[in-house]
Chains A and B, each alone.
Chain A
């Protein structure tokens, strides 16, 4: 079959036709995959909340979206088993660091998980387990309301990841942000002023 000549009507028709077919096909794929994608997101979130609260069947009762002092989004998930807060620090070594932290009723950290990061593999990427219970930089059980979490280099009492102080600082900032959001949420919820948010630490 001979090729269609490159006349203006031919080109217009062909390009339009291809685009329309492509759009139709994509709309169909989107239709099919939208459900599973949503389910995946919900499942990942539920698993994250359960793991940071140390339970297996937390039910999210309310979700509050807010902003921290620097305008980054913070999301509070109030569940029947405690509160999980998702916070972001934009200044990790490789960019954005997103964490999910679970708090008990007095504000002590129950657990955490790193949801998203771009830290160096083998160094900053260790943040996922370095600060867990029993590890070197254990932050579980600490209450950022009593003392801001900072690395020992900055006068705090958390051991930074070896050779990854920038990552560790970013991580702890995100945890502190999460705590302030939690404290503000708790204050709003039952009118207490005991856990009012404190000034953001200067970096």
Chain B
């Protein structure tokens, strides 16, 4: 039950995109389509789960004054490994996300969860928190990407819903990201009462 509430906490109550407003750079930058948003969310989730797990395991071995550099080394190694793995086994996804993968290192969600959660909790709780926050981020990015793709190009996950000629190109471009995100946050805050 405790683990479930940690999971749920990450998905809704402390959703990194809609509530904590962390990691805005990849949120706005990669969500030009639903599949891009989802891939970015999943990549971040993978790093988050492992970084939370590793950091909660080694937290008592790290002297307080050097904890941030230690966390960053752990996170950066995970991201580099992820980058090489994606390049090797999912080159198509890597091509679209390209630049944003190395930027996961400085994604404040990951360091934020390491500092605020993993450094104070045990490995299992931290693992759940990583999955929860990661899922929250993935859902948010997929939703945002889906809305932008649908309004901008008339497609959803590359399936044509209506003709591209009626699409509002603005939503695929940068301003559309801000507009869509703003409305999404407003709707989530209103309906979820958080």
Which A residues are within 8 Å of any B CB, using their own CB?
1-7, 10-11, 14-15, 18-19, 22, 25-26, 29-30, 32-33, 35-37, 40, 44, 120-123
Which B residues are within 8 Å of any A CB, using their own CB?
32, 58-66, 69-70, 73-74, 76-77, 80-81, 84-85, 87-89, 91, 152-153, 167, 169, 172-173
Task: Tell whether A123 pairs with B169 under 8 Å between CB atoms, given A2-B60, A4-B60, A36-B89.
Answer: yes
A-B contact count (CB 8 A): 79
Prevailing SS type, chain B contact patch: helix
* A84 nearest CB across to chain B (Å): 20
Nearest 4 pairs of A and B residues by beta carbon: A36-B88, A33-B88, A22-B77, A6-B65
Cβ–Cβ < 8 Å partners of B88 in chain A: 32-33, 35-37, 40
Cβ–Cβ < 8 Å partners of A19 in chain B: 73
Q: Looking at the complex, which one of B60, B73, B91, B169 makes contact with A18 (CB distance below 8 Å)?
A: B73
Separation of A120 and B65 alpha carbons in the complex (Å): 45
Cβ–Cβ < 8 Å partners of A11 in chain B: 63, 65-66
* B75 nearest CB across to chain A (Å): 10
Task: Tell whether A6 pairs with B64 under 8 Å between CB atoms, given A33-B84, A36-B88, A122-B152.
Answer: yes
Separation of A44 and B80 alpha carbons in the complex (Å): 22
Q: Which of B32, B65, B167 has the most CB of A within 10 A?
A: B65
